[in-house]
């Protein structure tokens, strides 16, 4: 009996000694605090839009540039524009189709990117959706006149293979325009910094960006701003009504482009997840560690130090979304896209809404996760679509309603 009691006492002490390690891994103890959006690095409370614009927003921008996306290491403007093709009777006479080549030069090298545009003929001023495609311009629509993209990553995709993601005829019929580019033309989606835009801005003997210089996400964001530079010169486009949009990794790039470049009239993120709309802390699915391991070329090299170390982050993604304020912002998710963490995408938009309140604008107010396919349309909009990681007609229909309501 005495030996049994001693064993029970020993067992009790053993279990007590292990409680901290169990607690550390328990859900109740793993909730990391989200950095305050409206408290500056100096500890100042941000209560006006003037404080936001002059103090807090610039320091948030600097944090994301130096620690996550990376700085663009110089200026590089479009050196030449060539309209390769125009058809005023596209889509059975309903649209103007244009194919435009943008050329950039630097360090004795040249980079050319083709942009495909479908613009409605029935309206003089309309919203244009600008975003990258994954497989070449020809993949967005089954139109034999569209040029085949250079095959950077295997065989060229078939015409119209990505048309479900780009319902161009529906978008034009709704009175909106589309402008798209193949993202590989700007920067490769692999750990290769020898091609794309990078070499055009290298210093002598440089072969890859410095630790605080741009990764692919920042390079793609840069390309979206250069596309907007062109659209400002196109007489068929109202450049003050351009909404930047992206799905998945291209959604990450679209948010960063919209955060940096306030010329974009609205920003739309579709299933952008980690490194995009979703808060990185307390996240299932793709985490910073997994992103850095699988796609080290997306962020800048400095971001590696936050792998499995989210507590050290001096920011989180709600602060990125807040940089879009006061412009309209739409964050969308899919019910089965757990890798992107729909709940963390939604909460990020809720927390970002604090910045919109400084402008007297209504964002997302409830932390209660919304029901599937019951969109919330406000200055900060949201929906969660039933289904998997994708961008589909349902998403586009809501984005069209959104831009009609909030882009004037």
Q: How far apart are CA 340 and CA 321, in angstroms?
A: 16
Instruction: Compute the distance between CA of residue 291 and CA of residue 133 in angstroms, rounded to an integer.
Output: 21
Beta strands 80-89 and 95-106, pairing class: antiparallel
Alpha carbon distance 139, 130 (integer Å):
16
Residue with tokens 């293979």: 161
Residue by residue, what is the 3-state secondary structure of 134-177?
CCCHHHHCCCCCCCCCCCCCCCCCCCCCCCCCCCHHHHHHCCCE
Catalytic residue from among 139, 247, 248, 383: 248
Contact in structure between 355 and 37 (CB atoms under 8 Å): yes
Q: Report the side by side order of strands in the sheet with 266-270.
A: 80-89, 95-106, 109-120, 177-182, 128-133, 242-247, 266-270, 329-334, 380-385
Separation in Å, CA 372 to CA 45, 267, 314, 383: 36, 22, 32, 7
**Residue 248 a catalytic site member:** yes
Q: How many residues does the chain have?
A: 408
Residue 150 CB neighbour total at 10 angstroms: 13
Q: Annotated catalytic residue: which of 40, 163, 335, 389?
A: 389
Q: Catalytic amino acids? A: 248, 389
């Amino acid at each position: 009996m005495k030996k049994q009691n001693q064993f029970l006492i020993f067992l009790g002490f053993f279990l007590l000694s292990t409680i901290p390690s169990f607690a550390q891994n328990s859900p109740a103890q793993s909730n990391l605090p989200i950095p305050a959006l409206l408290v500056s690095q100096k500890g100042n409370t941000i209560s006006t839009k003037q404080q936001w614009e002059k103090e807090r927003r610039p320091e948030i921008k600097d944090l994301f540039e130096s620690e996550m996306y990376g700085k663009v290491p110089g200026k590089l403007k479009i050196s030449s524009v060539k309209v390769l093709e125009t058809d005023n009777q596209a889509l059975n006479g309903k649209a103007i189709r244009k194919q435009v080549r943008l050329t950039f030069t630097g360090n004795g090298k040249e980079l050319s990117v083709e942009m495909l545009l479908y613009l409605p003929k029935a309206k003089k001023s309309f919203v244009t959706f600008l975003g990258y495609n994954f497989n070449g311009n020809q993949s967005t629509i089954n139109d034999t006149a569209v040029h085949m993209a250079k095959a950077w990553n295997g065989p060229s995709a078939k015409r119209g293979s990505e048309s479900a993601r780009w319902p161009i005829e529906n978008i034009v019929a709704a009175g909106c325009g589309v402008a798209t580019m193949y993202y590989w033309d700007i920067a490769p989606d692999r750990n290769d910094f020898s091609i794309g835009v990078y070499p055009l801005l290298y210093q002598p003997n440089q072969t890859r960006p410095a630790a605080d210089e741009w990764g692919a996400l920042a390079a793609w964001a840069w390309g979206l701003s250069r596309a907007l530079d062109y659209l400002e010169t196109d007489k068929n486009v109202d450049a003050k009504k351009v909404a930047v949009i992206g799905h998945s990794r291209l959604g990450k790039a679209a948010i960063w482009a919209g955060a940096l470049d306030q010329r974009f009239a609205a920003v739309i993120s579709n299933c952008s997840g980690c490194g995009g709309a979703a808060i990185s802390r307390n996240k299932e699915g793709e985490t910073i560690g997994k992103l850095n391991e699988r796609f080290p070329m997306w962020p800048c090299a400095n971001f590696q130090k936050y792998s499995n170390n989210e507590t050290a982050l001096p920011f989180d993604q709600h602060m990125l979304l807040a940089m879009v304020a006061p412009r309209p912002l739409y964050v969308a998710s899919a019910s089965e896209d757990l890798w992107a963490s729909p709940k963390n995408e939604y909460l990020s938009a809720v927390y970002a809404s604090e910045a919109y309140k400084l402008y007297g604008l209504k964002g997302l107010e409830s932390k209660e996760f919304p029901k599937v396919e019951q969109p919330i349309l406000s200055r900060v909009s949201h929906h969660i679509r039933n289904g998997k990681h994708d961008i589909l007609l349902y998403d586009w229909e809501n984005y069209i309603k959104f831009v009609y309501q909030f882009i004037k």
